[in-house]
Structure 1
């Protein structure tokens, strides 16, 4: 009697990336495979490994990812072999981008309700990741690093001052999707982000709290408040499992596409080059201004001019104007009593 071969599965970290690339939550995967959500979480963290029929179902579900790169192949059997091959930084970045970008754009759309802002935020996040790739490559969770950066870019309050974001975008065509998106956008950004990470992405409460930089208790309170708000306005979404399914469906129906990985890398390099040139130009201008100041500055000390002082005893000068009667009499008297003391004036004789 021959023993059935073991089902080849991706590494635990790749299992989570494959699930996120299809915009599936842990609850949805658990429902399709027929296990609990805690079991799927244990599979993705490497604590346990599926076996038998569940392993077949789980492997086929992961193999249905819409995008494949150099890091994975169409066959799950070669996943471990490909992962063992050393990749160049560009190949590793392209693999991370292919796994995370499509689902991350849809998730960011649920945060903002704007398609262009979602694509722009994800592209900016990956540009920062490529610029700081030595740091991101050794991060325990590169996908979480990029996701947190994209969420921060999307929720930045400075977007309200941009002309293109002063007017709302067209809502989804479906009425139920419009209602759900409207409720999400009315939630405070921290509550909206917590609900999306926990029920939409499928993170645990501790992971959600760590990514939102909050305590576990604060994250739990935000999650409960967000669920109560959604259930009050949409009573058919009181079940968290149904809410998670609707969030995944809303993100999938948006049909958002991300740019190519090579375009993102080129944009990151161009942006870094522009900042470097601007820094060099500013440094040159600062050096020129300093040299000009040193050249035109005085070389010896010149004491400052003393402030003016009031001279007392001098009568103020009279303003010009007609002479009074007394002044006219005095003037006439002075002219009559004046006697010449110098030589007589010599006048030319007429011819």
Structure 2
């Protein structure tokens, strides 16, 4: 594959991760079928739909066609007309029977063929999607399910086609507002979303200090990854997911400051609802807050909680049942939706750091981690060099002295002579007796 072909395949536009999941479910395709068609694993398809990674090259183009996004081969290109044939040859061809069009390998080579799973599904009669538990939709969502305002960076406009020279110049319209700098865009996002996120995180955890810490942590990461967050279709959702993940981490139970929730509110209704929410498991608590509190639809809720749509539906049903048993007035989905929506829409009262301080803290934290990594690396290099310089170049065996061990037999062979034995040996060597007489020891 040439470089130009690879660049064009890598530039195929893809929908947002949440939209990818919605399009797959609209086509009644499972993750296994998409993975089989693309030649990847199910975990890879799930990472594509959660935004952790994205396909490249040929797989990106095939994935875009599977979801229904037009790729570069789907664009209309002018084709050169075939050369004109002689009149007689044209008449001869017109008299011959024309072959019927058939699907061949040439059609596959053109790139306009869907992956294997989609082709198999097209050959079979359509089937209904996997049944999910029936969920009462609750009251009709008034207005958009998400906040109407979106803080998106100003995208660079595509180069326009050259205008005709004969057209007169149009009168200048109103001046366009200047594009926001990264710092200004981050500050606007922080001022818009941070207070509400602190209030939502408090409803999830029941701890005000932890909620402020989670939101500051999320915005620290957002500033570190600002090029990624700035082009995200839902930057508020990106920060919200990070804050929820940090706030619901089970490791906070080992911290003394966050071991127990804060004092419950004085109002009886709020105290009962907050207590019932805190009795739910974290994943169920998060699901019911996103669906009934913020008004997200079921696929978006499942995508943000990194669960399948049936699993999110089951969590929602279980959470509603538990809340209905604890608070009979909220047994109906409409009443629960109204109560949670009013609770989420309350004006936040938390005092937050200014956006400039959050940005400075994120940069200071990044510098600290960088210096720590460099320090550890330098220490490892020094220790390795010192070990290599002082290590012996050859092996010197160590002869340990013998020790008497109980239960082990005495080694064979000559033993060490005592002083008497040495004296006798010297006497025998000094006075040898060559005759047959016996050696009679003298009595002294």
**What is the TM-score normalised by the length of structure 2?**
0.52
**Among 313, 322, 339, the residue aligned to 2:413:** 313
**Among 96, 115, 133, the residue aligned to 2:189:** 96
The number of aligned residues is: 256
Shift in Å, 1:202:
1.0
| CA–CA distance in structure 2, aligned partners of residues 241 and 290 of structure 1 | 66
1:252-263 → structure 2 map (5 Å cutoff): 252=346, 255-263=349-357
Is 1:105–2:198 an aligned residue pair? yes
CA contact (8 A) 1:172 1:254 kept: no
CA RMSD of aligned residues (A): 3.2
Aligned to 1:144: 237
**Among 196, 209, 230, the residue aligned to 2:302:** 209
Aligned to 1:17: none
Runs of at least 5 residues in structure 1 that lack an aligned partner in the other structure: 1-30, 46-61, 72-80, 319-334, 339-351
Shift in Å, 1:232:
1.2
Is 1:242–2:329 an aligned residue pair? no
Instruction: Give the number of the structure with larger relative contact order, counting CA–CA contacts within 8 Å between residues 6 or more apart.
Output: 1
Residues 1:314 and 1:123: Cα distance change in structure 2 (over 3 Å): same
CA contact (8 A) 1:129 1:146 kept: yes
Aligned to 2:371: 277
Residues 1:237 and 1:122: Cα distance change in structure 2 (over 3 Å): same
Q: What secondary structure, in the 3-state scheme, does the structure 1 residue paired with 2:377 have?
A: helix
Residues 1:193 and 1:137: Cα distance change in structure 2 (over 3 Å): same
Shift in Å, 1:286:
1.1
Aligned to 1:224: 317
Deviation per CA, 1:149-174: give whole Å up to 9, x if none.
Answer: 00000001110110112233111111
Is 1:265–2:359 an aligned residue pair? yes
CA contact (8 A) 1:105 1:257 kept: no
Residues 1:82 and 1:116: Cα distance change in structure 2 (over 3 Å): farther
CA contact (8 A) 1:105 1:118 kept: yes
Q: What secondary structure, in the 3-state scheme, does the structure 2 residue paired with 1:337 have?
A: coil
Aligned to 2:255: 162
CA contact (8 A) 2:292 2:341 kept: no
1:1-351 → structure 2 map (5 Å cutoff): 36-37=140-141, 40-41=143-144, 85-251=178-344, 252=346, 255-298=349-392, 300-305=393-398, 311-314=411-414, 337=443
Deviation per CA, 1:73-110: give whole Å up to 9, x if none.
Answer: xxxxxxxx999531111111111111111111111111
Aligned to 1:22: none
Q: What secondary structure, in the 3-state scheme, does the structure 2 residue paired with 1:94 have?
A: helix
Q: What secondary structure, in the 3-state scheme, does the structure 2 residue paired with 1:41 have?
A: coil
Deviation per CA, 1:138-197: give whole Å up to 9, x if none.
Answer: 112111111110000000111011011223311111111110000000001110000000
Q: What secondary structure, in the 3-state scheme, does the structure 2 residue paired with 1:264 have?
A: helix
| CA–CA distance in structure 1, aligned partners of residues 311 and 332 of structure 2 | 21
| CA–CA distance in structure 2, aligned partners of residues 85 and 219 of structure 1 | 42
| CA–CA distance in structure 2, aligned partners of residues 82 and 203 of structure 1 | 36
| CA–CA distance in structure 1, aligned partners of residues 176 and 250 of structure 2 | 40
| CA–CA distance in structure 2, aligned partners of residues 257 and 210 of structure 1 | 31
| CA–CA distance in structure 2, aligned partners of residues 83 and 167 of structure 1 | 52
| CA–CA distance in structure 2, aligned partners of residues 254 and 230 of structure 1 | 24
| CA–CA distance in structure 1, aligned partners of residues 381 and 185 of structure 2 | 41
**What is the TM-score normalised by the length of structure 1?**
0.65
| CA–CA distance in structure 2, aligned partners of residues 247 and 316 of structure 1 | 96
Residues 1:179 and 1:253: Cα distance change in structure 2 (over 3 Å): farther
Residues 1:229 and 1:317: Cα distance change in structure 2 (over 3 Å): farther
CA contact (8 A) 1:127 1:267 kept: yes
Once the two structures are overlaid, the 10-residue window that deviates more, 136-145 or 152-161, is 136-145
| CA–CA distance in structure 1, aligned partners of residues 247 and 176 of structure 2 | 32
Q: What secondary structure, in the 3-state scheme, does the structure 1 residue paired with 2:144 have?
A: helix
| CA–CA distance in structure 2, aligned partners of residues 229 and 197 of structure 1 | 17
Shift in Å, 1:248:
3.7
Deviation per CA, 1:44-85: give whole Å up to 9, x if none.
Answer: 69xxxxxxxxxxxxxxxx8xx9xxx9x9xxxxxxxxx99953
